[in-house]
Structure formats: C-alpha cells, structure tokens
Structure 1
Amino acid sequence: MKKTMLSVAAVLAIGVGSASAADLPAKVYTKAPPVVAFDPWDVAFGGAIMSDYVFRGISQSNQKPSVTAYFEPRYNINPNLQLYVGSSFESISFTNRAAAEVDIYGGIRPTFGAFAFDFGVWGYLYPGGQCIDTIQGGGNICPLGSSSIANGNVMKKDVSFYEAYGKVNYTFNDTFSLGATAFYSPNFLNFGFESTYASVVGKVIVPPTWFGTSGIGAFVSGEFGRQWLGTTDSFYSIPFNTLAGVKLNDYNTWNVGIGFTYKVFTLDLRYTDTDMSKVNCQNITSDFSSNGTTSNWCGERFTAKLSADVTLGAIK
C-alpha cells in the first residue's frame, strides 16, 4: 500500500593517467590512485501525514486523515544491486476495528543502465481486529462474544495477506521516466481467492531552472492500474455460511498529481478515482459508515500528503 521508496547509488571513480609513447623515454609505471571507500550499508526512513490513506483507489481510513512511517535497512552488493528489508505503519479505519496496518517487506533492486527493477514480497498485517457479525454477541458467522455494527455488514477478524511483486522503471532522460508494476496474492485480504494488481506509471520532473536557486523541485506523475478479484469464501456469502460466496468484480483505478520537493520534504497533491460501482465498493470494504448497501470509499477524491524521507548515507 502504498508507499514511495528512496533509491541509493554508490559510485566508484578510478582515474587513469595517459601519455603517448613519443613523450616517454622508457616504460614508466605510475602509482594507482587510491580506491574510494564504499560503505555498502544504508538505512532509509521517513514519515508522512495525508488527508486520506488511499490504496488502489479505495480509502483505508474512512476518508479521514492518516499518518504513516517506515524504516528500511539496505545492503548494496555493488552500485547496481541492492538488497533491502523494511517495515512501515499506517493508521487505518476498518470495520473489524483493526489497530493499524503494519507492513513487513523485503526484496532486491537490480539496475541495468536506464532500467531499474524491484522484486520482493510484501506482507500486510492488521493486528487487533475483531470478528464482526450480523448480531451483537456473535453466533451467526462469528464466535460467541463477537461484535456487530448497525448497518449489518460483516468482516473477518484477520484480513492480513501478502503479495509477491515485480516493478520496472525506465529513465529516458533527466525529465521523463515510465514504469510498470505487478502484484500477486494467493489470498487477497483473506477473502479466499487469488488476486493480481498491475499498473503503468509515469513521471515528469519539472526543470529545476523553473524555481531558480530556491531549492524547490516539482514533478507530475500518474498511474493507471487494474485489480483482478474473485469469489469470496462462505464467510461473506448471503445467506451466511453457504458455499456460494460473493463475487467481487474486477475494477480499474487511476491517479494523477503534482508534487513539490524541498530538501527532504515532498508535498503531493493528487486526484484518484475508480470505475467501481458503489455496491461493489460496499462488498469489498464492508464499509461500517455506509447504509449497508453502497459505499463512497471508492469514488473520486483529491488528497494531500506531506512526507519527509532521508537516508543515513545522505546525512553523514
């Protein structure tokens, strides 16, 4: 969920002196220049506050503000190959009253010229959840002692899941880059079905000369993605506990925005939308704030996000 990662590049420069044979009376050996020290270890970390935590077009915070923070140790095998692990935290507002979203991830980032790749596994954990039944006290689809909500929606106690992912980005020049992503989960949000998300992304960096010597930078970026879903297990079936399940429709999502950077800070202003119906949005989210039939968590919205990102290597 989404989150923007920092990249680290380490450059080893070796200079070689030269002279023509006519200039040298005999073979001359020159002392090699010293090798520049290379520290393969680095740590990226940061945090942000956002007007709404939107994941693939769907609000995860009941369309309310959210905060996030992350910590990512990195090991550079060489300047073009990086290993990393990380963890992040996001405040959420789910029907099952989960305390927060806690992400644990890791992977590898190879670079080949203008191509930058990223492969890994991402785990989305939602601790502190409760099984939400249609009746207070449970006993229908949840164990006795469970809670309910007024609109009659239901949700599992644990909706944690993981995804394997691959990303590629091609940098054409100092201004423009284009990329693609793909995520696969064997049990998306613990619904009981496999799911895939794929997208194309693009970014245009505004020439720094536009802002003179102020140190301010800017960019325009966007994404178009598609989430493939399936039929849930019997927990979400109607009538409850039958084998039918509920079919969740695939949907498209897109966003476009402008960002402003200054030192370690980024202000991102973004428009997000989906082609999902309000009924399908209700089926996916179990929105506790809705009328029980339709949800507004998946509609168009404008968001603002102020973040700070830094690496230890950059501040040494």
Structure 2
Amino acid sequence: MKKLTLLATALAMVTGSAFAADMPLKAVKAPPAPAFDPWDIAFGGAIMNDYIFRGVTQSNHKPSVAAYFEPRYNVTKDLQLYVGLSGESISFANRAAAEIDVYGGIRPTFGAFALDIGVWGYLYPGGNCADNVPGGGGSCPVSANTIFLANGNVMKKDVSFFEVYGKGTYTINDNWVIGLNEYYSPNFLNSGAWGDYASITAKYTAPSTIFGSSGVGMYVSGEFGRQWLGTSDSFYAVPAFPNGIKYADYNTWNIGVGFTYKVFTLDLRYSDTDLNKGNCNAFTSAFNGSGSNNVTAINPTGVGSNWCGAAGIAKLSFDLTAMTNLK
C-alpha cells in the first residue's frame, strides 16, 4: 500500500510538470520603440591662438574665434542631409576681418565606411583698400577692387570662392579611424587659378579607461595633404609672367593630441608646409611680408612671408547636438 501511494505521488508530480510545461505563457508586451526624430541641430564654437588653413595662417599668427550652426535631417539612420553656417575671425591683406562659410551636403554611411559630399562657400566680407596707398589716404587710384600694400603686394578686394568636396572615413575598430579628403575650386581665392587639395588622415582614440573614471578622453591625430594650384589671372601678373603667375604647389602636414571632457575639446597641434617664404608671399599677398632676399620666379620683389611656416596651435572648442545634449 505504501509503495502504491509513493507511485501515485510520483506520477502526479510528473504529470503536473508536463502539464505546466504545455500551458501557454502570457506574452510580455515589449516596450514601444522610441520615436525616430529625423531633425537635429549641431552647433559649437572655439577659440585658438592661430587659425591655420591647409598649413597657412589666416589670422597673421594671432588668436582667432570661431562658431558654427548646422541643421541636420536624418532621412534614415544611415543617411543625413545638412546645411551649415560658420564664421572665423581672420586678418587678410585686403582688411577682411571675418570668414563666413556657407555649406551643405549629404552624409551616407555604409557600415564602417562613411562619406561626406557637399559644396562649401568661403565669403570674406569687409575687403577694402589699403590705408597706406602712397598719397591715397585709403583710396584706390587704379581699381575699386584692388588693394595696394607698402611692401609691393597687391590683393583683390573680393577673394570669396567656393569648393566642392568629398570626404571618406573608415572605422577600423573602437580606436582607429582613417580618412581621405578631396576639395576642388575652379577659382581659388578668386585669383583666377584653380585649386585642388587632397589629404589622408588618421586618428587614434585612447581607451576610455586611460584616465580612470574622470570622464576625460584622449586622441592623437594627423594629416598629410597636398595643395595643387593653377595659374592666376593677369591681376597678379609679374613682368616675367604678364598673363598671370603659376602658384607653387605645396605639401602640408599636421599632427597633434587632443583631450575631451563632456562637450569640450582641447587640441594641441603642430602644422607646417614646404612652401618657401618667397612663394608663400606670392600666394598670400601678406601685408607684413618683408625683406628682399626671397626672390623666386613668381616673386621677383624678394619680399618674404612667414604665413606658411611652422606653427603651434592650441584650440579649445565645444560641440553640441540638440538631440543628444539638450534633451
């Protein structure tokens, strides 16, 4: 009898377990997926001790401030359209004190490969005549579009221009990113000469634990590029080249280290080119070019400029997006 009781108990347990396993489970409702908001806005600003553009100072090796505003529309998570407006303080020979950039493009992403294709306009309002025109008192005796400098250099009043560009980056892993850039202008700095710039970039981002739990990040990055330039119009002609000068092509490079904390970045960088002082003077029309020993085929006056030489750059910037930082 005792054995029968134990057998019945065991059968009941097995049967109960099997029955429980066959019972339909009540489905748990998944939380709703977050709504996809295609619109976003990026904006930020910076202060730097020198504004360097492709190895050439735009601020006479003096401090510069910058700001930008960029609305974005995400068609999908892998396709973004954007337009932007930015500005930097500069110091040009034609007395222009600001660079205003208007740009727009498309950013498609294919896994680890990302593209950025667009058009960039560089505007330089405020270009004017020199204060030191001999006997001129700020007037332009030859052309209202001309600036004459005491060192013999000349510059157009309006040097605005545009470029089309294509950039690509490949993310190798969480630490390494490499890139290729290409920019082309049919009329670089409104000089009459075409311009083509190509570069390769690399960036190493250190593991997030390198500074413990402080929230500070670090990266090392560099770029090597080459600027090709065509022949100017006759405005920049010299006696040996009455129809215009063939600007010197040049290489430029930079390398630096950056530190990030929340929305802030401190970037410390070294920049240089292989342009000599004479060809740099012909290219930039520097208002503070001096000397007479820097004679080249396109710079017969011998005036030299240090605007294309080695420079150290310290830049503090902040960058935010509305969807990430302002929620």
Corresponding position of 2:5: none
Unaligned runs of 5+ in 2: 1-20, 292-302
Contact 1:134 1:152 in 2 (8 A): no
Which of these residues, 283, 286, 307, is aligned with residue 297 of structure 1? 307
Structure 1 length-normalised TM: 0.87
- Asked if the contact 2:179–2:201 (Cα under 8 Å) also holds between the matched residues in 1, the reply is yes
In the alignment, the residues of structure 2 paired with residue 26 and residue 261 of structure 1 have an alpha-carbon distance, to the nearest angstrom, of 53
Question: Aligned pair 1:218/2:210, yes or no?
Answer: no
Query: Could you tell me whether the CA contact under 8 Å between 1:76 and 1:83 is conserved in 2?
Result: yes
**Aligned-pair distance for 1:26?**
7.9
Letter in 1 for 2:255: V
Give SS of 2:102's match: strand
The structure carrying a bigger helix percent of its residues is 2
Gaps of 5+ in 1: 1-22
What SS does the aligned partner of 2:210 have? helix
Select 1:36's aligned residue among 18, 34, 37: 34
Q: How many residues align?
A: 292
Kindly provide the amino acid, as one letter, of the partner of residue 160 in structure 2: S
Q: Any idea what the Cα deviations from partners look like across 1:224-250, whole Å, max 9, x if unmatched?
A: 00000011101111249x842112110
Quick check: 2:147–2:154 contact (8 Å CA) kept in 1?
no
SS of 1:214's partner is coil
Show the counterpart of 2:282: 283
CA contact under 8 A between 1:216 and 1:261: conserved in structure 2? yes
Provide the residue aligned with 1:52 in structure 2.
50
1:227-285 C-alpha deviation (Å, 9 max, x unpaired): 00011101111249x84211211000000000000011000000000011111110111
What's 2:111 paired with?
113
CA distance in 2, matches of 1:24, 1:218: 56
Normalised by the size of structure 2, how large is the TM-score?
0.84
CA RMSD of aligned residues (A): 2.3
1:74, CA displacement in angstroms?
0.5
Deviation at 1:139, TM superposition (A): 3.2
Partners of 1:28 and 1:191 in 2: how far apart?
Answer: 74
Q: Report the counterpart of residue 144 of structure 2 in structure 1.
A: 143
Work out which of the two has the higher radius of gyration on C-alpha atoms and give 1 or 2.
Answer: 2
Using the aligned pairs only, state the percent identity: 62
The whole-number CA distance in structure 2 between the counterparts of 1:53 and 1:285 is 14
Q: Secondary structure at the match of 1:155?
A: strand
- 1:102 matched residue in structure 2: 100
1:244-283 equivalent positions in 2, closer than 5 A = 244-283=243-282
Q: Deviations over 1:278-304 (max 9, x none)?
A: 111101110001116110000011110
Give the direction of change, closer, same or farther, for the CA distance of 1:91–1:24 in structure 2 (3 Å limit): farther
Determine the C-alpha separation between the residues in 2 that align with 1:263 and 1:27: 45
